[in-house]
Amino acid sequence: MQEWLVGAEIVLLAVFLLVLPLVVLALRRRWLARQGGTFECSLRLRTSTPGAGWALGVARYNDEHLEWFRFFSFSFRPRKSFLRDELNVLANREPDSVEAVSLYVGQRVVSIEARSENDAQVGELAMSSESLTGLLSWLEAAPPGRVDY
């Protein structure tokens, strides 16, 4: 009887360890959604290889940042954060056939440029048409730049 009990404890521990990461991912997703409006948004920073390098994720706006979180990650911090006044939308297009396999259904590919004092980084976001409208509205609603006299 003791051997059976030890075996059952090992099986229960294994099941617990397999289910725990899924529970943490679900709780993280719920926490992100409660912090502000999130939307499905894939990200690709290395655009040198056509169709490759997409990472599924979610993004959210706050006052001055667009924050991007990797979908399958345990981190509660954004993987990438873009300042509103440093972000430019260059173009948007339909995904090509190779990209469509890596993205959520119905997303559009948006070419972006994130400038800073030292450099500019070009990348791509993929989001629904509705989310793209929200992004463009959020960028246009930015307050005018501050001028120090």
Q: What residues are paired with 126 via a beta bridge?
A: 42, 109
pLDDT for the residue numbered 1: 56
pLDDT for the residue numbered 79: 92
CB atoms within 10 A of CB 70: 15
The reported pTM is 0.77
Domain ranges of the chain: 1-34, 37-140
Quote the CA–CA distance of 71 and 61 in Å, as a whole number: 16
Contact 44, 54 (CB under 8 A): yes
Quote the CA–CA distance of 132 and 89 in Å, as a whole number: 10
pLDDT for the residue numbered 147: 38
Q: How far is CA 36 from the centre of its chain?
A: 14
pLDDT for the residue numbered 68: 93
Element holding 28 (H helix, E strand): helix 2-34
pLDDT for the residue numbered 108: 95
Residues of the chain with pLDDT under 50: 146-149
pLDDT in tens, 96-138: 888 888 898 899 999 999 887 777 788 899 999 999 999 999 9
* CATH class of the domain at 37-140: mainly beta
